[in-house]
Structures are given as structure tokens and as C-alpha cells.
Amino acid sequence: MKKYLLFTAILTSTLAVHSQNKIITVTNSLAVDREFETVELTKKSLKLPSSVKLEDYTVKDIISNLVLETQAVDNDGDGVTDVLLFQPKISALSSKEFEIKVSNNTLGTKNINCYSRFVPERTDDYAWENNKVAFRTYGPVAQKMVEDKIAGGTLTSGIDAWLKRVEYPIINKWYEKTTNGTGSYHKDTGEGLDNFQVGDSRGIGGIAVNADGKYYFSKNFISWKTITNGPIRTSFILTYGDWDAMGNKITESKLISLDYGSYLSRFEISIKGTKTIAAGLTLHDKKGTIGTNLKEGWLCHWEPIDDSEIGMGLVAPKNTLISFDNYVTTDKDLSNLYGNLKVKHNKAVYFAGFGWKKGSPFQTKAAWETYLSSFAEKVNNPLVVKVKK
């Protein structure tokens, strides 16, 4: 009798685990192959009980029988994983099945391809990167140094670009060699360099508010919070002090994320005090050319940079990019190509990034525009995930 009860208990336990495994279908509705796009799975979308832990699950390609790399993310910091990320490869106009199953491997993530951190050893930058691009922006200590006329400070809420041409992470390596005096990230020794001037400009994706034809923007961020680093995504929040746009008090924070394989960071702006924002791309010394396609939802600027060229780009979801302003002025660093975006429920979303000729496949403005056009099409036609009954 005891043996029978033990067998029943084991069988029941096995069935319970099996019932938590799911088969999903991922469908690509576009006539192009898709990769480097992140699928987000939640307990709700998978119809899993709230008691399970998403970090215990893996994703298996049923056809190839390969287990894909995943990343579990706690978005709200409450100690409970909210989403499980993975990046499938889906052929044009096709679907593919994946098994979401409980894993025996609890070792966790090994590859940190997408990385960000606060950098106190270089004043107080916040820097982020993936396998294609890297960025940084600046904090309150750097701002105070400028205001107190101390050398080495930086006063801007613009987004700086670090032009990398290697797939592996470089942020820590570049900061280390610069701060310990063994080298400089302003010199290219084969991995790339920082030769991108931000100044008061918006850099690549910084925002402004237009009031009566003049652009206003915040100072440096005042606080930061890292959400996740991993093989598929890095994300973090930057908060800014309240700022003024011609008498309107603006309250702003940015949720920024960068996924593996993408040349564009995602910006989710939480903002009060305005119904529109202007996301900018710096025009530097105005020697470049712009490209715009409001119908598809993208803007770009292609320009020379030292002995190479760079394409900057902005992509917005459908019907949120209202207009653009090729704003040219004689004021230093204030010439920007602005994309004017709707603010809905105190939020606006867009993507901004770059392709450097030495560190990317984009050798011409036309090639860069093709990438932005394709990126916009994919943003507006995301992969569709359905749980198989």
C-alpha cells in the first residue's frame, strides 16, 4: 500500500510539472526573415500560476531541439521575475514552435552581452552597450563641476555615442585604461573610440520641449537605477530634476533599454507638463545630410566624423512621430534634427542609435536608411506569440 501511495505521489508531481510546460507559436507576418528581436513572455501570457518562477524556465526550439538563450528580468524590483526574454529566428511569412519548459539547469546566465552601469570613477557617467554600439550620459557631480567652474565637468542631458567596432564589451576596459592612465578612449587602438561631441546638443536621442519656437531641456540626470544586465537586454532608469520650458514645469524620467543585435536604444519617456516632446539628433558642424520618412516613422542624419562617417537615427511607433524640425542655428551645439512626438498618458516611446562606418555594415546613407525603414516596419509589426492549447 505504501509503495502504491509513493507511486501516486511521484506521478502526480510529474504531471504537475508537465502541465506547467507550454508550447508557443511565434509568427512572422512580414516578407523578411527576422532575428535579433526580443520576445517577452510573462506568466499571464503563458497561462502559468503566479507561484511559478520564470527564471526556472528555458525555451527550446522544437524543430532543432536546441535550447535558446534566455534572460529573466524583474522590471519593478519587487524580487519577482516579470518577464522571460528570448530572441528567436523566424523565416519570412512563417511560424515556429517553441517549448517553454521547466529547466534542471539553475546556473543562470553566463553571457553578459548587454551591459550598463553607473561610473563613479569617471565623475558620474551612466554608460550602456550591447554587441554593436555603446552610449553614455552624465550625472549631477559632472554638472556641479561645471557650475562651480571646476575642470573636467560636463553639463548636458544629451546622449553620447561610443563608437565600438568589436562584438565584446568595452565599457569597463575603456574606463579603466583612461582612469588609470594606461590609455585613452579618445584614441582608437582597434576597438573603436569616443570622438563624438555632445556639448549642449541632444546627441543621439536626448529630448527637448519646444515653446514658442525655442527648445528647452533638462540638465544632467539626478538619480539612476539599473534594472537588468544579461545576454539579451540591459535596462535602467534615469531621473531628472524638474526643469522649466517657458513657464511650464517639466517632470521627466527615462526608462532606457538596449537589446542584443540592435543599433538603437529604446527610450520610454515619462513626462509631465507637455503634450509633445522633441527627440533630437545632433547636426554637429552641419556638414551632414538628413533623411526623413514620417509615414514610416523615422528620421536620420548622415555625416562625416574624423576619417569616417556615421549615421544617426530615430524611429517611433506608428502615428506617434508628428513632424520634424531641421533646426539650424549659429549657437554652438544647438543645431539638431528634431522628431516631434506625441505624449500620451504622460509617456512617449522612441528608438535612437547609430551606425558607424568603421564598426557596422552601414557604409552609405542609403544602407543606414534601409536599416531604419526595416526597423520601423518590425516595430509596427511585432512577432506574434500564441500559446498552443
Amino acid in position 244: D
Residue 359 lies in a domain: yes
What is the tens place of the pLDDT at every residue in 158-210? 999 999 999 999 999 999 999 999 999 999 999 999 999 999 999 999 999 99
Q: Which of 39, 71, 105 corresponds to the end of one domain?
A: 105
Residue 9 lies in a domain: no
Integer Cα distance of 339 and 350 in angstroms: 10
Q: 42 and 147: one domain?
A: no
Number of domains observed in the structure of the chain: 2
Cell reading at 83 = 518577464
Q: 62 and 164: one domain?
A: no
DSSP per-residue codes, 254-305 = EEEEEETT-SEEEEEEEEES-SEEEEEEE-TTS-SEEEEETTTTEEEEEEEE
Q: Is the pLDDT of residue 130 over 60?
A: yes
Q: 167 and 227: one domain?
A: yes
Q: Which of 75, 105, 135 corresponds to the end of one domain?
A: 105
Cell reading at 297 = 516613422
Q: Which of 105, 140, 163 corresponds to the end of one domain?
A: 105
Cell reading at 216 = 528647452
Contacts 24+ apart (CB under 8 A), 4-7: none
CB 229 within 8 A of CB 115: yes
Q: Is the pLDDT of residue 32 over 70?
A: yes
Location of C-alpha cell 594606461: 182
What is the domain range of residue 24?
Answer: 17-105
Residue 1 lies in a domain: no
Q: Indicate which CATH number applies to the domain containing 184.
A: 2.70.98
What is the tens place of the pLDDT at every residue in 276-297? 999 999 999 999 999 999 999 9
Contacts of 148 (CB under 8 A, 6+ apart): none
Integer Cα distance of 331 and 342 in angstroms: 27
The residues with which 194 forms a beta bridge, in sequence order, are none
Band (pLDDT 50/70/90 cuts) for residue 20 is confident
For range 358-369, the mean pLDDT? 98
What is the tens place of the pLDDT at every residue in 336-357? 999 999 999 999 999 999 999 9
CB 349 within 8 A of CB 316: yes
Q: 142 and 76: one domain?
A: no
* DSSP 8-state secondary structure symbol assigned to residue 382: P
Residue 385 lies in a domain: no
Residue 364 lies in a domain: yes
The proportion of the chain whose per-residue pLDDT surpasses 70, expressed as a percent, equals 94
**What does the mean pLDDT of the chain come to?**
94
